[in-house]
A and B are shown apart, each in its own frame.
Chain A
Amino acid sequence: MRNPLGWLLLTLFSLLFFAFIYAPLAVIIGYSFNANPINMMIWDGFTLDWYRGLFGFADRTADPNSRALYVESTDQLIAALKNSLIVAAVTTSVSTVLGTATAIALARYRFRLRGFYRGFLLLPMMMPDIVLGIGLLIFFVTLGMKLSLLTIIIGHCTFLTSYVFIIVQARIAGIDPALEEASADLGASEWVTLRKVLLPQLAPGIVGGALLAFVISMDDLVITYFIAGTDSTTLPVFIFGMIRRGVKPEINAIATLLILASVLIAALGLWLRSRKIDK
């Protein structure tokens, strides 16, 4: 029999839990439509000005007083977003290939120091971001590399490969090795077996790892902050720079758009997965 009091407490707890998680997001979304340009905390009516400002449509001459509060340059914001997308796309591709290949090699081939490599691959994930950031910076400076998108990409690949590796490895552990043997038994070479059996079986893990890598790369601030050059600012670094000069209403609008993008990516991931299962 169900205990009514226990049930009530459980429901209450669940509601509080979700409120706790989602309240900050709700606040940001709400304030992104708040017309008060000076104090975000006081509701001053609904506006789309901050969004217009972001996209460069705001009439900045209308109210000279609030001018300084707007994003200095929409072009800078767009450039940062573009940088972030380039970095995320390239690092996702590179680390997905590297992470997957490593996971397959470690799971399917026997060679010396296998355990050592496994541990070594997990280390970048455990390492505090700040240490990784400083380390990468010193490394690039020592090599005499100019900080640029390339250094960000290299930096992101070092730890995102570990993330992809972990996820693909978990998937590979659940795959019956007899599948690959069956493929070989039926006349497929190792390469054909990889293409027709192992990779399709790993696909959910690979897609999951790639999505995670993309999101983390888009989101990374601490490491990127160290290794981004002046002309290679990413979106998080740009936003951080804005906040240092005061929290402005546009930031709420940017955050809201990022939330929207994340939800879309997550939905895409779920949809891809459900399609796989249906088929």
Chain B
Amino acid sequence: MTGLLEIRGARRSFATPEGGRIAALDGVDLDVGANEFVTLLGPSGCGKTTLLRSISGFEALDAGVIRLDGRDIGALPPFRRPVNTVFQSYALFGHMSVARNVGYALEVGGVARAERERAVAEALDKVGLAGFGARRPSQLSGGQRQRVALARAIIGRPRILLLDEPLSALDRNLRQQMQLELKTLQHNLGIAFVFVTHDQEEALTMSDRIVVMRAGRIEQQGSPRDIFRHPRTRFVAEFIGETNLFDVTVDRIEGEVAIGRTAEGLELRLPGAGLTVGRRATAVLRPADFRLAEAGLPVTITRSVYLGQDLNLFAAPAPGGPEIRVTARDAADAPEVGARVHLAYDAAAVHLLEGA
């Protein structure tokens, strides 16, 4: 991979009101390739914004280096860095027209008026706002403002576009539409995107690579499928989508399959490779990994949540014990609450957490 952005050993701490210090970045190494769509994902307060602002230059690192195209940019002020940002609050200039907002980077860069107007029209067209140039930001809807902020940030053709939770203020439908559009736009522009979100679904939909952060560190990074199917830690498994975690001890090996027992006595079939009797492990099973079947794990349905096409079922292997989450199609024969059913799953599909 050709490294466009290279961050090594990034550290940044802040003083807390209580008089202590909190490490917003606690030794972060990150690479972003040209053309790559990288998503920083993690709970609120894990340091995503701080990392993004270190790249744009609004936060100075206590330690570590940031290189862009091999050049150390750590000492450059924000206005000299070839990266642009889409701010969470959009930060549009209310005293300027939409066109002047979009053309701002060119205006301060000394680009001639005619060339500027052409580029503004093109940028507005790219985000689907052709003809809106004469309006004021206050005369636009939230989604339209979002597009103006986007057009304004891409007009200068930055090496990297930074986006800090840009979709969080939009309603669900618009957000999903914008997710697809952003991805398409990124593909067409050929600019690397570093996108911040705390929404795992958004991260899965858009990213080439997801970087899961936790308390100022990178917990795991990889492709969306990799992160979803092969979480390395409990934190990642629980943060990315709904999941069932079972702490088991391997009871016996039956050919390809290992049988693990939970503390409650539940028996689970696991992929046997590398497991020995007595080993402890944590098994990850997504709700969609289970099927309702004639034979398998006997359970009682305790709750059923209607989601439209699907049902979220909660199934208890033993009365009053821990529940298993299962996704099932909503059909005429879907089990009612109280029904006794069997859950089947593919032992090879069970993922084991490392070092559990």
Residues of A within 8 A of B (CB): 176, 178-179, 181-189, 192, 196-197, 200-201, 203, 279
Contacts and interface: CB of A to CB of B under 8 A. Distances in A.
A279 B138 CA distance: 11
| Most chain B Cβ neighbours within 10 Å, of A182, A183, A184, A201 | A182
Contact of A192 (B58, B89, B108, B153): B108
A189 B76 CA distance: 12
A179 B108 contact: no
B142 to A, nearest CB: 15
Interface in B48-97: 56-58, 77-80, 83-85, 87, 89, 91-95
B269 interface: no
B108 A182 contact: no
Interface residues of B, number: 26
A271 to B, nearest CB: 18
A179 B152 contact: no
A187 B93 contact: no
Contacts of A181: 58, 78, 85, 87, 91
Contact of B105 (A178, A186, A279): A186
A195 to B, nearest CB: 10
Contacts of B85: 181-182, 185
Nearest to B56: A185
Interface string B98-123: 00000011011100000000000000
A176 B91 contact: yes
B133 interface: no
A176 B95 CA distance: 13
A188 to B, nearest CB: 4
Interface of B: 56-58, 77-80, 83-85, 87, 89, 91-95, 104-105, 107-109, 136, 152-153, 156
Contact of A185 (B79, B89, B94, B95): B79
Nearest to A279: B136
B79 A179 contact: no
B84 A186 contact: yes
A171 to B, nearest CB: 13
A279 B85 CA distance: 27
Given A185-B78, A186-B156, A189-B79, A179 B84 contact: no
Contacts of B156: 186-187
Contact of A201 (B94, B108, B152, B153): B94
B95 A184 contact: no
